[in-house]
Amino acid sequence: MRIACPACEATYEIPEELIGAGRRLRCAKCGHAWLAQPPAAAPGAVPAGRTAAEALRDAMPPPVPEDGRADAARDLPPPRPAPRRLPQLIDPPLPRLGDNEPPRSWLWLAWVASILLVLVLVVAGWAFRDDIVAAWPPAARLYQALGMMAGR
Ligand SMILES: [Zn+2]
């Protein structure tokens, strides 16, 4: 049977046995792929005694079937990159400075309480500095020094 590429009009003489009930073909000229289907009144159209090999010999260069081996090789996904490996861990991690004693929960609690107490004292000392200076005038010098440190 004669099949024409719908894209570039190139015609191919293809034995119907190769098409069957329909087969996707790729045009050897322009690369367009389409579904080739036998004519509606096809059954029995192939002359008896004519083998597919003989038909192939008579045929023009047929389009490359899309499920051909060349396509399969081209469509293979690229090889996956090897999974990244983590460096081998040899020694236990070095202790950080000042981390010689493993901290215990009560120790952290004491630290947090101390820091909070200092913060409260600093904030209160700054908020009530006027009262404090009024009650204890030498504190004025301390606040002056603190203000200079703060860039005031
Ligand atoms: Zn074509």
How many whole angstroms from 22 Cα to the centroid of ligand 1? 18
For residues 25-30, average pLDDT: 90
Determine, yes or no, domain membership for 94: no
- Domain span holding position 50: 2-74
Predicted local distance difference test score (pLDDT) of residue 18: 82
Distance of CA 101 to the CA centre of its chain: 43
> Which whole-number Å values give the CA distances from 102 to 96, 98, 99, in the listed order?
11, 10, 7
Instruction: Report the predicted TM-score, pTM, of the whole model to 2 decimal places.
Output: 0.28
- What would the pLDDT profile of 105-125 be if each residue is shown by its tens digit? 888 899 999 999 999 998 998
Determine, yes or no, domain membership for 92: no
- Give the amino acid at 59: A
30 pLDDT higher than 90? yes
Determine, yes or no, domain membership for 24: yes
How many whole angstroms from 69 Cα to the centroid of ligand 1? 20
How many whole angstroms from 104 Cα to the centroid of ligand 1? 78
**C-beta separation of 14 from 57 below 8 A:** no
Domain count, the chain: 2
58 pLDDT higher than 80? no
- Check whether residue 68 and residue 132 sit in a common domain: no
Above pLDDT 90, what percent of the chain? 17
How many whole angstroms from 30 Cα to the centroid of ligand 1? 4
Q: Where are the alpha helices (DSSP H) in 1-152?
A: 16-19, 52-58, 69-74, 105-127, 129-135, 139-149
**DSSP 8-state assignment for residue 94:** P
How many whole angstroms from 47 Cα to the centroid of ligand 1? 28
How many whole angstroms from 33 Cα to the centroid of ligand 1? 8
For residues 95-101, average pLDDT: 62
- Check whether residue 13 and residue 63 sit in a common domain: yes
Determine, yes or no, domain membership for 17: yes
How many whole angstroms from 55 Cα to the centroid of ligand 1? 22
